[in-house]
């Protein structure tokens, strides 16, 4: 696995193109990583639904929880599945739509300047060792490819949208991210 900074793509990783992205503001390169947690239906793992959500193909009638989510236009750069598999939806050079209304150290609109990584999980259920392993490998590559991202600039959605978002949640063990 490696990051191609020209294309913003992860070589050696499954790519599923999301329509939910646009250009970063001119001259902006990523200098923040926002980690998220997601599961669909909530609390269930392994289905196709997260990818379906990020590609605009979530069927509203397939589950009671889907109706309110089916029209959302959301994405992330990368999803880390429970078994550690990575799926890339948006080039790191483009702006994925993951953080929503957000602010970090006084700077608003974190989507403009961040890379969004979704971990399949919930606020309560511990994330898997395979997910930390995959995350650490990915973060190592991202820190190398985008030097403005430092260890201190890897944060949770709950850090940039406090009071509105809780993910990746207390179940995420930050001490397992490599220094
Ligand atoms: Zn989130």
Q: What is the pLDDT of residue 178?
A: 80
Cis peptide before 136 (omega within 30 of 0): no
Contact (CB, 8 A) for 60 and 67: yes
Identify the active-site residue in 44, 85, 108, 118: 118
Annotated active-site residue 137? The verdict is no
Q: Terminal CA-to-CA distance of the chain, rounded, Å? A: 20
Per-residue pLDDT tens over the stretch 61-84? 999 999 999 999 999 999 999 999
To the nearest whole number, what is the mean pLDDT of the chain?
A: 97
Question: What's the average model confidence in pLDDT over 100-128?
Answer: 98
| Residues, beta carbon < 5 Å, ion ligand 1 | 36, 157, 167
Distance 158 CA to ligand 1 centre (A): 7
Residue 11 clears pLDDT 70, i.e. is over it: yes
CA of 45 to the centre of ligand 1 (A): 16
pTM: 0.98
**Residue 153 confidence (pLDDT):** 97
**CA nearest 20: which of 62, 48, 63, 57?**
57
The per-residue pLDDT for 179 is: 61
């Amino acid at each position: 696995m490696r990051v191609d900074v020209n294309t913003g793509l992860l070589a050696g990783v499954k790519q599923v193109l999301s329509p939910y992205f646009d250009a970063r503001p001119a001259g902006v390169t990523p200098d923040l990583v926002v980690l998220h947690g997601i599961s669909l239906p909530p609390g269930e793992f392994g289905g196709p639904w997260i990818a379906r959500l990020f590609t605009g193909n979530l069927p509203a009638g397939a589950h009671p929880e889907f109706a309110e989510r089916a029209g959302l236009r959301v994405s992330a750069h990368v999803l880390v599945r429970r078994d550690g598999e990575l799926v890339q939806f948006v080039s790191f050079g483009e702006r994925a739509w993951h953080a929503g209304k957000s602010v970090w150290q006084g700077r608003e609109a974190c989507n403009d300047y961040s890379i969004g990584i979704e971990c399949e999980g919930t606020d309560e259920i511990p994330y898997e060792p395979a997910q930390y392993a995959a995350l650490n490998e990915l973060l190592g590559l991202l820190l190398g490819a985008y030097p403005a991202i430092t260890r201190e600039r890897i944060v949770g959605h709950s850090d940039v949208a406090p009071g509105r978002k809780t993910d990746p949640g207390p179940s995420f063990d930050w001490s397992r991210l490599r220094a």
